[in-house]
Amino acid sequence: MAIKTKGLVPRIWRWVKRILIFLFCLHIFYLLILKWMNPPLTLTQLSSFFHGYGLKRDYVSMNNISPYAKLSVIASEDQLFADHDGFDFKSIEKAMKHNQKSKSLHGASTISQQVAKNIFLWQGRSWIRKALEVYFTFMIEELWGKKRILEMYLNVSEMGKGVFGIEAAAKFYFNKHARSLTRNESAMIAACLPNPKVFTVRPMSKRVATRYPWIVVQTIHLQDDPDIIKLLQ
């Protein structure tokens, strides 16, 4: 019996290693596939559906998204998006200092980090999820590039209760396609992004009403930035 047990442990370890190698290769393959294809479903979308919010989504290419929508999410969520490598360390340090002194938590997630979380992970706060978010952020920055990350952000972000992506949001709020969104309409949608279930576009919450004019002004300042112009093309 001792001999059998002694031989069992190495066999189990060999199988564990094979499974880990297989899972690693599988997730690399999935990362590469998503450079050209859209994710079939995300954990956040599943959660929305099972919590009774429904699931409205309609993926569109960058060519079918208004440049104002692209500008608005950058202006609202990550104005250094074109310049950083996935992480805005100054904002992270600033948020950490604030969170040490205040009960109201401030986040500092870049667009890249939010894409990593929304596509590959789950919502919530934990060190494990944050570590995985760092890993996936690094990977998509290396494998996808900025344009694809922005395209995915505009397609998978929740922009209302059960409303995912700019095309679904444009239809739901303004009865039009994403490519036809005006600067003001785009800014209204972007203003809800920190918490779209609370910061509603229709009916317009106080947060959206006060924030979207600021986003409009920021888009005007950003639209002539050479690096951002490349992302809009």
Residue 210 lies in a domain: yes
Contact between residue 140 and residue 31 where contact means Cβ atoms under 8 Å apart: yes
Q: How far apart are alpha carbons 117 and 61 in whole angstroms?
A: 21
Answer for the pair 21, 28: CB distance below 8 angstroms, yes or no. Answer: no
Distance CA 84, CA 151 (A): 17
Helix, strand, or coil (residue 158): strand
- 142: burial class by Cβ within 10 Å (0-12, 13-18, 19+)? exposed
7 part of a folded domain: no
pLDDT reading at 126 higher than 90:
no
* pLDDT, tens digit (0-9, with 9 covering 90-100), for 138-177: 999 999 999 999 999 999 999 999 999 999 999 999 999 9
Q: Is residue 22 part of a domain?
A: no
Query: 112 lies in a domain?
Result: yes
Residues in the chain: 233
Range of the domain at 118: 44-78+85-232
- What the block records as the tokens of 224 is 């002539």
Total domains, the chain:
1
Rounded CA separation 161/130 (Å): 24
Return the DSSP state at 56.
E
Residue 155 token pair: 């397609």
202 by DSSP, 3-state: which?
coil
**CA–CA gap between residue 57 and residue 62 (Å, rounded):** 15
Q: Is residue 200 part of a domain?
A: yes
Whether residue 3 is contained in a domain is answered as no
Instruction: Provide the pLDDT confidence category of residue 89 given band limits of 50, 70 and 90.
Output: confident
CATH code (residue 176): 1.10.3810.10
pTM of the full predicted structure?
Answer: 0.87
Q: Is the pLDDT of residue 91 over 90?
A: no
pLDDT tens for 178-216 read 999 999 999 999 999 989 999 999 999 999 999 999 999
Distances (CA, A) of 114 to 7, 69, 149, 158: 46, 17, 10, 11
Domain assignment of residue 25, yes or no: no
Is residue 130, in this structure, part of any structural domain at all? yes
